[in-house]
Amino acid sequence: MPKTVGIVVFPGTNCEFDVAEAVEKVGGKYKFIFHSQTDLTDVDSIVIAGGFAHGDYLRPGAIARFSPIIEAVEQFAQSQKAVVGICNGFQVLTEAGLLPGALQKNAGLTFLCQPTVLNVTSTNTPFTSKLKLNSKVKLYINHFSGNYTCDDQTLNELKKNDQIILTYENNPNGSTENIAGICNENRNIIGLMPHPERAISDFLDSRDGLDFFNSLIQ
């Protein structure tokens, strides 16, 4: 029985179809879940897709984190099921307090849309289990506020608990310690700025994203 990925859609989300295609490509099933819904009974994992939820008004993710779906996602995560936030989804998860730290504006005030090389620094999460530890992957970034920021205490905890899962080879946005993706202490909530759903075919010049979704549907 293929696993079903619930893809959360806010007004302004725009990566949901790319995530759906990636999930199907690795043999999984998907279901779109609008932000006003709260029923997550028939999905095995959750992806909060990228875009501009609620127009990113106030701050990216600030309004989205009070949508009804987020409370349901919190409960879902308590049962140790996987919750992944990609790009804007990562911003939503930090605003909701489900992941530590915050994403501030890119150093240099530039919107970044480019391929990046990433180091896989932890495979001990449901979104990176099929990757090779310390390998490099090529994924695309597409963001204005992707500069990961946290206080020193949080940074020490992230390091101590092996919560940093992806780092940039050449830091494009000023992120603390080149951080591109992290997980929570329980390892089932994952946030990353790069878009694995956009690296799923030779035509897109990278298939490295498929391993992430392969991990998720296991």
Residues 38 to 77 in contact with other proteins, rule: CB under 8 A: 58-59, 62-63, 66
- Distance separating alpha carbons of residues 90 and 182, to the nearest angstrom: 9
Any contact of residue 133 with other proteins (CB under 8 A)?
A: no
Nearer to other proteins, 34 or 57 (CB): 57
Out of 72, 96, 150, 166, which residue is the one contacting other proteins (CB under 8 A)?
150
C-alpha pair distances (Å), 199 with each of 21, 25, 68: 11, 12, 31
* Residue that has been written with the tokens 């701050």 in this structure: 59
Q: How far apart are CA 29 and CA 71, in angstroms?
A: 23
The answer to whether residue 177 forms part of the interface with other proteins (CB under 8 A) is: no
Residue 54 vs 195, nearer CB to other proteins: 54
147 binds other proteins (CB under 8 A): yes
Minimum distance from residue 207 beta carbon to other proteins (Å): 34
Nearest distance from C-beta of residue 105 to other proteins, angstroms? 6
Catalytic residue, candidates 87, 143, 150, 183: 87
In one-letter notation, the amino acid at residue 117 is V
CA dist., res. 85 & res. 12, Å (int): 15
Give 204's DSSP letter.
G
95 is catalytic: no
Distance CA 208, CA 82 (A): 20
Note whether 48 and 93 are within 8 A (CB): yes
Does 167 bind other proteins (CB under 8 A)? Our answer is: no
Q: Is 169 a catalytic residue?
A: no
Q: Does 178 bind other proteins (CB under 8 A)?
A: no
Residue with tokens 């875009």: 51
Residue 15 falls in the annotated catalytic set: no
> Which residues form the interface with other proteins (CB under 8 A)?
58-59, 62-63, 66, 94-95, 101-102, 104-109, 147, 149-151, 174
- Would you name the residues annotated as active-site residues? 87, 195, 197
